[in-house]
Amino acid sequence: MASFKAITVTIIWTATAGLGLFAIGAYEHFRNPIWATGIATSLLGIHMVNMASHFKVAVERSSERFK
């Protein structure tokens, strides 16, 4: 159940962040180096938050396999 919750949180965060990028028009400006740097940084941040939230929510499940 913890994995399902973690995946749900990840999907919600990714969808929200993707809608935010879509709202600011990131798909129109990706060839501009300044915009590309900002978009890449935000995508990296989105990925890092996804990983952190997944491990935070599903930590009790992952620690069981080492017992």
Placement of tokens 């962040």 in the chain? 17
pTM, two decimals, is 0.76
More confident residue, 17 or 3: 17
Tokens representing 40 are: 């890449």
- Cα dist from 11 to 5, 34, 47, 49, 52, whole Å: 10, 28, 11, 11, 13
7 and 55 Cβ atoms separated by less than 8 Å: no
The per-residue pLDDT for range 42-64, each reduced to its tens digit, is 999 999 999 998 888 877 655 56
